[in-house]
Structures are given as C-alpha cells and as structure tokens.
C-alpha cells in the first residue's frame, strides 16, 4: 500500500525531502530511544548524565545492531516509503546509527554536523537518499534536522558559479535558506543527498533522539557484499562500512529478523 501520496511525491521532487508521518509506532520509538540511552549509559531523566566528564566528540551514537533499531528498519511502512522513492521494492537497508543531541548549556556547545553533503560533488547529481527517524517529538528548536529545500535541483549550477578558489563544503555553511524540519516521534524524514543538510544547536530543555535509516537498491549481485552484511548483522559489527567488533559485538544479542528484514539485510534474496 502506498505510504506517500501523489502530493508527497510532488513535494519530494520539488523540495528534495519528505516527512513520512507515523512511519513506525510509538512503542518502537520508545524501545529504540531506550536502547540509545542504555548504550550511552545515560539516564533520560537525569540531565547531569547527558554531559559526561569525558566529553563526547559529537552527537552520534555508535549503536547499529540492536533489536529495536532493526525493528524500525524492518517496519513495512518504512520500506514502503523508500520503495516509492526508488520505484522498486528490492532494497537493502543501511547499517546506520543513532544520535543524541543534548541542549546547549554553559560548557557544552553543539559541534555539528553543520550543513554538509555526504556524497561526492562530482556532477551530475545522481539519486541517493538518506533518512532520519525521530524517536521523540522534535520541535524546530530541539536540534531538528535541517536542510536547504530544493537545493538538489540547483546544486550543479551553484557549483559552476562558485569562484574557482572557493571550497563548496565551506561556502555552503553560510548559504541562506536552511530550514529546521520539526516532527513527531515516529516521523521519518527522507532527504535527497544533494541537499546540504545537518543538525543544529538544541536550545530546548530536552535532548533530540534519532535513528538514521536509509535504503537503496540491493547489491545482491555481489556475493561478497551480501556475506559481509550478513556477518555484520550476525556478529553485531559496527556499520557505515566500519565492520568492527565493538560494544554490541561483546555485549549484544543478534537481532531477530522478519521475512522483510531478511530481505532488507540480504539474508534472503528479493529475486529467487
Ligand atoms: O542529525 C541530523 O539532524 C543530521 C544528520 C546528518 O547530517 C547526516 O546524517 O549526515
């Protein structure tokens, strides 16, 4: 069943992002949020615990293989939304992490990510998508995901018109038009990777809790890639290509997968 309406698709094409409302149920959000807190060894109800003595390097949380994260990845509505964007259901899900963006306070300043791209700036622009799932209600001032809507349509031209010595990745930080995207717990924002995007300082009194999720057409033609993913899941290795044995490998439990989850991992093939 379609998750994105014709208006959503038109909005996506125009703006390069779309908000999938209620992409996962609240209980999924709560479970993933708690998993992030446990991983961080912090207490959601104790603001002092949010600012450890050994400061964190940024907002990212290196949790990848927890059951609660997999439950969101394998939630059918999430897959359906990405399928509509890619126009195919044959997708693999990313092994992506979470983040906790606490309120700024004296002695703690937001360190980014500011507006950036995670893709090569060699043109032409190709379709690549990223996603962030809000695990708690996220007003605009609570460190909301921020992007410059519509920039995917003008990136190529913008790059061509920069002074020859300008570094696009530096210049973009000052680019006008950045918009924080507020959302409710369970909302999934999918964005085109050609949009400059980042998070922002949190001026509320609550941390911003998210899980990143994206999907892209499978690489199941590569047996090596498929086996690597299966090992990553089974052995609970770090994601984003790092493939290392860290906390979850030593302390975690391998997530159980649904039939959809098995395909999104690559354990079962979409085409038999
Ligand atoms: O956490 C956010 O709001 C932005 C995340 C981001 O910049 C990224 O995933 O590349």
Please report the atom of ligand 1 found closest to the CA of residue 59. 1
Q: What pLDDT score does 104 carry? A: 98
Model confidence at 1, in pLDDT bands (50, 70, 90)? confident
Digit-coded pLDDT (tens) for 13-72:
999 999 999 999 999 999 999 999 999 999 999 999 999 998 899 999 999 999 999 999
Please report the atom of ligand 1 found closest to the CA of residue 113. 7
Identify the residue whose C-alpha is closest to ligand 1 atom 2: 199
Over range 219-235, report the average pLDDT.
94
Please report the atom of ligand 1 found closest to the CA of residue 99. 1
Q: Rounded to an integer, what distance in angstroms lies between the CA atom of residue 119 and that of residue 193?
A: 7
Token pair 């911003």: residue: 208
- For the chain, the average pLDDT equals 97
**All domains of the chain, ordered by start, with CATH?**
6-223 (2.60.120.620)
Checking if the pLDDT of 158 tops 80, the result is yes
- Ligand 1, pocket-test mutation among 197, 208, 213, 239, most atoms within 8 A of CB: 197
Q: What pLDDT score does 128 carry? A: 97
Checking if the pLDDT of 272 tops 70, the result is no
């Amino acid at each position: 069943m379609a998750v994105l309406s014709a208006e959503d698709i038109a909005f996506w094409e125009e703006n390069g992002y779309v908000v999938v409302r209620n992409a996962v149920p609240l209980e999924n959000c709560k479970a993933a949020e708690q998993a992030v807190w446990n991983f961080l060894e912090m207490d959601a109800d104790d603001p002092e615990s949010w600012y450890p003595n050994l400061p964190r390097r940024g907002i990212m949380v290196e949790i990848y293989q927890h059951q609660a994260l997999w439950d969101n990845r394998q939630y059918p509505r999430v897959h359906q939304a990405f399928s509509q964007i890619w126009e195919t259901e044959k997708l693999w899900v990313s092994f992506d992490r979470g983040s906790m963006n606490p309120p700024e306070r004296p002695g703690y300043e937001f360190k980014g990510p500011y507006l950036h791209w995670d893709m090569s700036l060699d043109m032409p622009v190709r379709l690549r998508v990223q996603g962030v799932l809000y695990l708690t209600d996220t007003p605009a001032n609570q460190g909301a995901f921020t992007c410059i809507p519509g920039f995917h349509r003008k990136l190529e031209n913008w790059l061509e018109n920069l002074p020859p010595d300008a570094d696009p990745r530096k210049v973009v930080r000052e680019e006008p038009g950045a918009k924080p995207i507020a959302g409710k717990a369970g909302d999934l924002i999918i964005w085109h990777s050609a949009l400059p995007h980042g998070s922002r300082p949190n001026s509320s009194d609550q941390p911003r809790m998210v899980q990143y999720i994206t999907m892209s057409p499978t690489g199941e033609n590569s047996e090596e890639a498929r086996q690597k993913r299966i090992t990553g899941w089974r052995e609970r290795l770090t994601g984003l290509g790092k493939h290392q044995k860290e906390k979850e490998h030593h302390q975690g439990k391998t997530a159980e997968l649904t039939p959809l989850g098995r395909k999104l991992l690559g354990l079962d093939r979409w085409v038999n």
